[in-house]
Structure 1
Amino acid sequence: MTAELTTIDLFAGCGGMSAGFVKQGFTPLLAVEFDLYAAATYAANFGERHTFYGDIAKLDEADVPEVDIVIGGPPCQGFSNLGSKDIDDPRNQLWREYVRVVRAARPKVFVIENVDRFMKSSEFQLLLAETEEGALAEYELSYGHLNAADFGVGQRRVRTIVIGSRIGRIDLPNATHARDPEDSGLLPWVGTRERIGGLPEKPATTSLPDSSTEFFGEHVPGIFKGLDLHLGRNPTPLSLERYDHVPPGGGRFDVPEHLLPRCWREKPSGTTDVMGRMRWEMPSHTIRTEFFKPEKGQYLHPQWDEAGKHRVNRPITHLEAARLQGFPDDFLWCGTKIGIAKQIGNAVPVGLSEAIARHIRSGLS
């Protein structure tokens, strides 16, 4: 019988990383999350008893169990291209709390997931120093960039992955999919059609069901799943006219000038993916927290035909975004519409986390 392998998930969010590890047979013994809605979503799917809702700095080391692997992604806003890139951003210091828990849990392996810029940050250099002569000196690191699309996720999302091991070096997993798989033996990238095709083109509602539940002694909206999250919006006639001009793979430069807002007319270059439309045959671009706003990225539904007979002029729904992140329709969600959108956009794609889990499990056996 295969021995049980156990995890701690730090900065767990809604549980994208845990979802992949659980699918590969890992058992979570502790999860830590500061945001109430995200912690409630995690608890709804994986259990409330082992979920610590609160500030990780207040987690007592005496309450940290020894496990096989610690996983997690310290908040990355200070590293992000979209953020201020402030190296003194206090959120960038939370990786030190991650290190503190690793020391207490003494896992065989730990995994850090972060934005692609993380490897260029001063915090990453400090992390390397910890493995050379500091608190993580017994761990050997492997690190690099992985694209979720290269592991069967219907989304192009490049992330920094760090694997630390004290049982011998564990390299990053090899890609299973490729954009151009000819002669490589790999599978082709998964397009949006495979992930969101077949869902109703016109959502039946713009609101979540009126329901609430309780976690950690707090009332939160939920529990929602499946078509509960297939939420439409009420765009203005001007917005609909803009959407109608954008073909698959196109963006704001396809919108006639007289329909553009002044800020775009006066900025003839840059931000090429805003007001963009997805393509059925390709993975989506990165799903961020405001995927329901076409002015924020390539978030228009991929259905569009040249003749104008069959066009779906709306942004993707919460359910479609969750599917592009790899969450199954029976995954349970708690929170407001905005709160759930943040959870979806901040999550680790389930297919990517499962690939990492599968790879590490083989290294532990």
Structure 2
Amino acid sequence: MNFIDLFCGAGGFSIGLTKKGHKLLKGFDNWKSAGEAFSSYFGKKYFSEVDLSQISSEFIYEQIGNKNVKIDLVVGGPPCQGFSSMGNQNIKDPRNQLVLAFANIIAEIKPKYFILENVHGIKGEKFENTIKRLYKLFNDFGYKNICSGTLDAQDFGVPQRRKRFFMIGSLDDNIDLTLPSPKINQKTTTVGDAIMDLVGKENNFPNHVPINHNEIVKGRYAFIKEGGKLDIKALPKKLAYGSRSDFKDNKIKNFSHIYQRLSRYKVSGTIVPGHNAFPIHPTQPRSLTVREAARIQTFPDRCIFFGTRQEQCIQVGNAVPPLLAESFGQILNLYEKKYGNTTR
């Protein structure tokens, strides 16, 4: 079916859907660097850089280049910083309103299906009214058939524990909507499966550029066993204090995302956006590169990330893992096979 991707970022959702045969019409985002990553996989003609709080359905059809094309599906992951458990969960965060902007675009286009993705934190007590408001909005727009819940990416073959909230709705009340079911009896894909073939290819592979850590940071990493966290009490004094001149008198803290070494034999914790320091490589004295993090997110290597290192980290960490997105592509195919194909 034909679909558009709102707040598309680097394109994780679109990559997964197209792998299951769905046709991308256009991806939309207001972030140039993410658009370059999206375009590296799909081509420039499939991306539009735009403020999604300001666009209309008329603009969307203009960008697609065909005002008569049928949009069967709209997917999107509006910015989630205000909901994230990694942040302050600020209900007044203006970025939260973009979730409602997503809903308004659905109301104008009226696709047969929509899928909204956000962080697990949107289900928190603070945002209970937001979820109720979304349900009411979509109900008022004609989407009486809605289901929602949390999925963990590791249950779908992604080598990462990553819980995300999904809401799927349809104009067709006869469809028995469900979220994709975890794959049964599948072999667990580990961090080692995803990234160990990249060892020795540093600086010779797209986005595979290690951070040049200083000697103090490398020294701390040496105290962390594979699969373990930093034990600050075990550090010698010279490694226990800040390595930067403005932090030299401050004792370090065990930030779980920075001072945790991954295991080759297990899945990763959640790849966190917003930091340019990913978890530590299982065997190397450094944090993960952007490419290694992208592999753990199941991005194909042909998707190239642009911008500063921090921007690249955010592009990777914000994305829906393409392999998880494939499960939505598959379940939509099943719906269309059972209930009828609406694609022109």
The TM-score normalised by the length of structure 2 is 0.85
- 2:64 corresponds to: none
Aligned mates of 1:91, 1:141 — CA distance in 2: 24
Quick check: 1:6 aligned with 2:2?
yes
Quick check: 1:235 aligned with 2:213?
yes
Inter-CA distance 273–288: structure 2 relative to 1 (3 Å threshold): closer
* 2:267 maps to which of 283, 288, 306: 283
Structure 1 counterpart of 2:8, one-letter code: A
Quick check: 1:53 aligned with 2:49?
yes
- 1:223 corresponds to: none
- Identity across the alignment (%): 30
Structure 2 counterpart of 1:301, one-letter code: H
Inter-CA distance 119–203: structure 2 relative to 1 (3 Å threshold): same
Shift of 1:69: 0.8
Shift of 1:255: 6.2
Could you tell me whether the CA contact under 8 Å between 1:246 and 1:254 is conserved in 2? Answer: no
- 2:109 corresponds to: 105
Inter-CA distance 249–290: structure 2 relative to 1 (3 Å threshold): farther
Inter-CA distance 17–78: structure 2 relative to 1 (3 Å threshold): same
SS at match of 1:64: helix
Could you tell me whether the CA contact under 8 Å between 2:276 and 2:309 is conserved in 1? Answer: no
Structure 1 counterpart of 2:210, one-letter code: G
User: Map of 1:318-357 to 2, 5 A cutoff?
Assistant: 318-357=290-329
Shift of 1:79: 0.3
Alignment deviations for residues 118-146 of structure 1 (CA, whole Å, 9 cap, x no partner): 122132221022234x22x3331111110
Shift of 1:52: 2.2
Aligned mates of 2:54, 2:275 — CA distance in 1: 33
- 1:92 corresponds to: 96
Q: Please state which structure has a larger fraction of its residues in strand.
A: 1
The TM-score normalised by the length of structure 1 is 0.81
- 2:197 corresponds to: 198
Inter-CA distance 251–290: structure 2 relative to 1 (3 Å threshold): farther
User: Map of 1:59-70 to 2, 5 A cutoff?
Assistant: 59-65=55-61, 66-70=70-74
Alignment deviations for residues 152-203 of structure 1 (CA, whole Å, 9 cap, x no partner): 0111111001111222231011101xxxxxxxx5213211011001112472
Structure 1 residue ranges without an equivalent (≥5): 177-184, 206-226, 304-311
Structure 2 counterpart of 1:194, one-letter code: D
* 1:244 maps to which of 222, 229, 241: 222
| Aligned CA-pair RMSD | 2.2
Quick check: 1:129 aligned with 2:136?
yes
Quick check: 1:116 aligned with 2:86?
no
Structure 2 counterpart of 1:165, one-letter code: S
Aligned mates of 1:109, 1:31 — CA distance in 2: 17
Structure 2 counterpart of 1:150, one-letter code: D
> Alignment length, in residue pairs?
316
- 1:24 corresponds to: 20
